[in-house]
Amino acid sequence: MSQASYTIGIDYGTNSVRAVVVDIADGRVVGTRVFGYPSGDQGVLLDPKQPHLARQNPADYIEGLRVSVGDALTAADAEPGFSRERVIGIGVDTTGSTPLPVDAQARPLAVDPRWQDNLAAHAWLWKDHTSAAEAIAITETARAHAPELLAPIGGTYSSEWWWSKIWRCLKVAPDVFDAAASWVELADFVPAVLAGVDDSTKIVRCICAAGHKAMYSEAWGGLPPKAFLSRLDPKLAALRDRLYDKAWAPGRPAGQLSADWARAFGLRESVAIAMGGFDAHYGAVGSGIQPGTLVKIIGTSTCDCAIAPVADKIADIPGICGIVNGSIVPGFFGIEAGQSAVGDLLKWWVEGICQGGDALHAELSAEAATLAPAQSGLVALDWNNGNRTVLVDTRLTGLILGQTLHTTRAEVYRALIEATAYGARAIIERMREYGVAIDRVVCCGGIAEKNGLFMQIYADVIGQPMLIAGSPQTPALGSAVSAAVTAGVANGGYATWDEAQRRMTSLKEQRFAPRPAAKKTYDDLYGIYRELHDAFGGVQDASPDLASLMKRLLAIKERAVHEAP
């Protein structure tokens, strides 16, 4: 490249949207802006009568686009060498599955005054759990009549996903369902907005959302067959015609910047709009994912991403939420797993139970760091928000075992971190068992950045060094990477994902290596965790020896304390 090129990455989170302007030569951020969604409770529309409901106002997405990108560009203007002329692409990542109903002109129903007071007409945020009954019915129907639909998504359909939510809407707000010309994932909606799409049949759909959340696969010709959808409700089968036949891997453009947005932002109309994608997947890209690398995006919950060459013919992996060709990087299976509560579990303990704030987080973390593995005699199951992988059961609940009258809050804090680490290990073991190589673990997200105790425990439990992504905003960076590849080398971007990632992503120097003695103790504790996990998780052929479990845990404790230096 003779001259610097820039791309913009836009990351739609749960409470805010962030835009970054990135120098594609080295991934350096030259301008950024975060915009908090103005509606509801920190951007989330709630209903006091329905605690599982979580919606978002699509108007916030558009206003957030305008403000975050506009202000990020203004910030970039101050950077020497930057010019808006040199912006070659825009990439977008979002939460998901977050579907919203749109009219025939691809406008959200919720911006229409007729529907704006109806929560069903807004975006159904990923963490909306009103569709539990629908998820169960979809899973049961598929098991009975079309088990192949479930195989690539881990065997169980989730209440957080596309069809559960749309079916729920059909049941509780049939007028909204009937008024919707189509439904669109937020990850596809924003690129369509940027590209000025004004026809709902012309929205370009990403394989990422389609394959992981909507049971889309080329193996059965796209979305689930009408015969299957009819078993749920004939209206869902009819909707299929108004959705899409084809979904695309990243790299292909979702369009070009519309004249209106180009004018608003002072950008060229030739700017490429990358395919949208989920935050976790673009976060994996921004963390430098490659075959053999597991990227752990550690926040309130965790998303684990790996890729494997399509040639490897990875089998369906029970309990792994999704294996989709091209969902993260084209030419590779994108493999997604996750834990339902990680940061949230610590937050529950520190804020909900101990009623402290950041200072107490730090205090408990410091005190927990002085404890040896197994010293507390505690083992917990990390299921306060269910188990996403490998049990795929949102209704499981938490468990803490081994308490004495002397058990401290810092001991429980550490035990909860350990529980999430055991959960992380269970995911890695399952992937390996089914042929996915994992020889490198890269972590990103707030906890990875800030909590050294957490990272050390993960290294000790998993038995691998924990590496940390160089960027604190890997999803936005990954979107910018995608934009650079989508723009292509002819426009000043990159020809390959590999090259773009090598140039634009990095690792921090700090890494956490497993300590052999701690790993040995954690191997024993993980055995206890697995017994509880398999027994309470309903794993077939689980044969726990619970009668001796508390004593064996004490024996591990006594050995560990005795051997401590």
- Which residues in this chain contact its own copies in the complex, by CB under 8 A? 341, 344-345, 347-348, 352-355, 377, 384-385, 395-409, 412, 535-539, 542, 544, 546-551, 553-554
Cα–Cα distance for residue pair 137/82, rounded to 1 Å: 53
Cα–Cα distance for residue pair 19/69, rounded to 1 Å: 5
First and final C-alpha spacing in the chain: 56
Q: Which of 121/390 has CB closer to its own copies?
A: 390
Using N-to-C axis directions, what is the helix angle for 546-563 and 516-537, rounded to 10°?
Answer: 170
Q: Which of 318/398 has CB closer to its own copies?
A: 398
Peptide bond into 390 cis (omega under 30): yes
CB of 339 to its own copies, least distance (A): 13
CB of 393 to its own copies, least distance (A): 9
CB 68 within 8 A of CB 19: yes
- CA dihedral angle for residue 49, residue 55, residue 58, residue 63, rounded to 10 degrees: 90
What DSSP designation does 255 have?
Answer: E
| 3 state SS for 126-195 | CCCCCCHHHHHHHHHHHHHHCHHHCHHHCCCCCCCCHHHHHHHHHHHCHHHHHHCCEEEEHHHHHHHHHC
**Which letter, b or e, does each residue of 36-47 get, where b requires 16 or more Cβ atoms within 10 Å of its Cβ?**
ebebbeebbbee
Tokens read off for 484: 């650079």
Q: Which of 517/542 has CB closer to its own copies?
A: 542
Q: Which of 94/339 has CB closer to its own copies?
A: 339
CB of 16 to its own copies, least distance (A): 21
CB of 399 to its own copies, least distance (A): 5
Q: Which of 127/235 has CB closer to its own copies?
A: 127
CB 100 within 8 A of CB 186: yes
CB of 355 to its own copies, least distance (A): 7
542: exposed, middle or buried (C-beta count within 10 Å: 0-12, 13-18, 19+)? middle
Q: Which of 69/381 has CB closer to its own copies?
A: 381
Sequence-separated (6 or more) residues with CB below 8 Å from residue 411: 368, 371, 375, 376, 378
CB of 130 to its own copies, least distance (A): 16
User: For residue 395, which of 406, 407, 387, 405 has the smallest C-alpha distance?
Assistant: 387
Q: Which of 62/535 has CB closer to its own copies?
A: 535
What's phi and psi for 34, nearest 5 deg?
-110, 135
- DSSP for 77-98? HTSTT--GGGEEEEEEEE-SS-
CB of 356 to its own copies, least distance (A): 9
Q: Which of 310/353 has CB closer to its own copies?
A: 353
Q: Which of 283/537 has CB closer to its own copies?
A: 537
Tokens read off for 460: 């000790």
CB of 551 to its own copies, least distance (A): 6
CB of 534 to its own copies, least distance (A): 9
Q: Which of 127/503 has CB closer to its own copies?
A: 127
Tokens read off for 213: 């959340």
Cα–Cα distance for residue pair 404/407, rounded to 1 Å: 5
CB of 411 to its own copies, least distance (A): 10
Q: Which of 413/497 has CB closer to its own copies?
A: 413
CB of 281 to its own copies, least distance (A): 25
CB of 377 to its own copies, least distance (A): 7
Cα–Cα distance for residue pair 164/401, rounded to 1 Å: 35
Q: Which of 105/408 has CB closer to its own copies?
A: 408
Angle at 241 between CA 239 and CA 245, to 5 degrees: 125
Cα–Cα distance for residue pair 242/232, rounded to 1 Å: 17
